[in-house]
Chain A
Amino acid sequence: MNFPDNLKYSKDHEWIRVEGNIGTVGITEYAQGELGDVVFVELPKIGAKLESGQSFGTVEAVKAVSDLYSPVTGEVTEINKEIQDAPELVNKESYERGWMIKIKITNPDELNNLLDVEAYKKLIAK
């Protein structure tokens, strides 16, 4: 399984890629594998304000449904419309075209609470 080392990871199996004050958020390859075929993704409205750990949507796979949790506090600036028509991208390209939201990070210190790639790999090895 692939876990890029330039990302931060949450215990809820989200990843975040930080560029300036904008974070791009998705679910990890491990998470998509556990869920199986993703068929619907429900995302928040642009402008939605999220607390870190707050649910921002759901991902429905054939077998199970899972909440999505924001790894940081901030405001949603963009959502990935492509995955609403092609949800399989969440399975196939978890870290690229399968991203979910972009969020303007209001408290960058929270990034320190997230896991680096080694810590995340340890978490899922349990």
Chain B
Amino acid sequence: MKRTPLYNVHVKAGGKIVPFGGFEMPVQYAGIVEEHKTVRNAVGVFDVSHMGEFFVKGKQALSFLQKITINDVSKLSPGKAQYSAMCYENAGIVDDLLIYMQAENNYMVVVNASNIDKDFEWMSKVLSPEVIFENKSDETALLAIQGPKSLETLQKLTDVRLAEIPYYHFVQGNVSGIEMIISRTGYTGELGFEIYFPSAEAEKAWNALFEAGKEFGIAPIGLGARDTLRLEMGYCLYGNDIDQTTNPLEAGLGWITKLSKENFTAKSVLEEIKTKGLNRKLVGMVLHEKAIPRHGYAVTANGENIGTVTSGTFSPSLEKGIAMGYVTLQHSKIDTEVFIDVRGKIMKATVVQLPFLKKN
């Protein structure tokens, strides 16, 4: 089991440590609901250094990424980031990821912790000899600073004008003496930043952030609240909502699946799926009763199995049980009444538009 450079800091902060994606990670500190509200109302910091960072450089870097990912990498310009995914030939998802364009033919690819080895191997298979492909996951720390007070917190530590960085853009800058990538991205739906920098500086950066955010009630946030926050926004989690058995079109990732792009892995299969139409779709569901839908629970209608919950939780913002899951196409329309089998009890739920939490 691996540890991030901040493992000891988490233990000292009262973090409850659990295994996740091959790492010993903090699942909670003060409690999931409290941490969730800290991010929605103030500012919280997530250590997500377990995630993987690959660097792709060289003359063929763009064409390599175009071939292996489903979004259109040519739409990027230096300083822009893009959400994307890689598919197997049969359109099953290898991983979802972020691509950062640093310069022409110079990219950083950020992948899920549990998929680092698998992704690296998959990408290495189709590598052209002119591409320099490196895995710098161990040397790279990643912190997410999220919440309405995130900008004010981070601004105290840098001369970079953070308010000028648009969503899904990034700059290279200095934060409390550390050179880093400052990215206006996140997994919470709040104003927020993700900062990438050398692992050796992790504790220094962490301490500086907590000092800067003290007046706003800054707090460390564990994986538990990371999950409730992303689920309220309807963001997919690899291993739950998407995996090698799901394709991006049924997962609601049609917006990143650019079929107009020239030849890329799984293109023809995805086109075929699109022509034939989907059998099932990933939807959001809200439970009417006081209970929590969880991963693996059956979704039914008229006593028949019509799908499965892939992610479920209690929404601290809505104070209800919410779920994402695949249901047959005919039950996927907004406002459709379905039922979720909560440990033998059949409970009413409604298919709703994502995100669950409507901001502003």
Contacts and interface: CB of A to CB of B under 8 A. Distances in A.
Interface string A69-89: 000000000000000100010
A3 interface: no
B103 interface: no
Contacts of A42: 290-291
Nearest to B319: A39
A2 B34 CA distance: 22
Q: Determine the interface band of chain A, counting residues with CB < 8 A from chain B.
A: 10 to 19
B31 A39 contact: no
A37 B291 contact: no
Nearest to B34: A37
B31 A36 contact: yes
A63 B343 CA distance: 15
Contacts of B314: 37, 39-40, 60, 62
A63 B31 CA distance: 10
A40 B319 CA distance: 10
Contacts of B31: 36-37, 91
A46 interface: no
A96 to B, nearest CB: 19
Contact of A65 (B27, B28, B294): B294
Contact of A36 (B28, B291, B292, B316): B28
Contacts, number: 41
B292 A37 contact: no
Nearest to B28: A36
Given A60-B314, A62-B228, A65-B343, A39 B292 contact: yes
B313 interface: yes
B97 interface: no
Given A62-B313, A62-B314, A37 B32 contact: yes
B357 to A, nearest CB: 16
A88 B37 CA distance: 15
B292 A60 contact: yes
Interface in A11-43: 36-37, 39-40, 42
A40 B33 CA distance: 13
Nearest to A58: B343
B224 interface: yes
Contacts of A39: 33, 292, 314, 319
A40 B292 contact: yes
Interface in B280-306: 290-292, 294
17 contacts: A36-B28, A36-B31, A36-B224, A37-B31, A37-B33, A39-B314, A40-B291, A40-B314, A58-B343, A60-B291, A62-B33, A62-B292, A62-B314, A62-B316, A63-B28, A63-B224, A88-B33
Given A36-B32, A63-B27, 16 more contacts: A36-B31, A37-B34, A40-B290, A40-B291, A40-B292, A40-B314, A42-B291, A58-B343, A60-B291, A60-B292, A62-B313, A62-B314, A65-B294, A65-B343, A88-B33, A91-B31
